[in-house]
Amino acid sequence: MTFQIGDKVIYPNHGLGVIERIEEKTILGTTCGFYSLRIASNETTVLVPVANADTVGLRRAIGDAEVDRLFRILGDGKIDSQQNWKGRFKDNSEKMRSGSIYDVADVLKSLTLLSKSKNLSFREKRMLDRARFLVVSEISEVLQEGQVVIETRVDRALDRSLSTRTRSIATTAKTTKVVAPPPAAVAVRRAVRAS
């Protein structure tokens, strides 16, 4: 994927940036092209090699139609919740580095659910805050709405997701509840089998 000066792009784990320049630099005798990004949240400059843009997950910001899809995903109640801290942290870290806003939304949902039942570790709390920031800032930029308004919409979608998941678990528990047969019926079945 190639980008032009002025394109708004998402740099994984850093958020929205604008391509200010496309320049060539010589490093250790090798000349490469670089995208010079200005990261919107902290005004830092990041150089991304043009040849590695796909590898690092550099992508265009989502469009309006994708915002609707993102809110549906945030509110759908489908939440992966791995109990093992080490495995959960590894999976979530990979999703955060992927560059996909949908992966970041999965991290946001799963850590929000987990935070409702227990205190998160410092690292997971930081990851939850980062996922929330990345989702809110990208939607805010796409819709050209304030972050406070978008935070409220994201919170409503997450609340809906948690409610949907809770109802789904309750329904599953009701339908899979096994009713033990009365002791007399068990005795009759055993007698029939024995004969």
Q: Class of the 64-171 domain?
A: mainly alpha
- Residues 71-88 have a mean pLDDT of 83
pLDDT digits 0-9 by tens, 141-189:
889 899 999 999 999 999 998 888 878 777 777 776 655 555 655 555 6
Q: Is 75 helix (H, G, I), strand (E, B) or coil?
A: coil
CATH number of the domain at 8-60, please? 2.40.10.170
pLDDT reported for residue 30: 84
Indicate the pairing of strand 15-27 with strand 8-11: antiparallel
Give the phi and the psi of residue 83 in degrees, each rounded to 5.
Answer: -80, -30
Q: Which of 8, 27, 10 is nearest to 18 (CA)?
A: 8
| Positions of CATH 2.40.10.170 in the chain | 8-60
Q: 170 vs 117, which has greater pLDDT?
A: 117
- Residues 60-70 have a mean pLDDT of 90
Q: What is the DSSP string of 119-143?
A: PPPHHHHHHHHHHHHHHHHHHHHHH
| Positions of CATH 1.20.58.1290 in the chain | 64-171
pLDDT reported for residue 184: 59
50 pLDDT above the threshold of 60: yes
pLDDT reported for residue 26: 83
Angstrom distance (rounded) from CA 37 to CA 7: 10
Angstrom distance (rounded) from CA 143 to CA 135: 12
Buried b (16+ CB within 10 A) or exposed e, 104-129: bbbbbbbbbbbeeeeebeeebeebbe
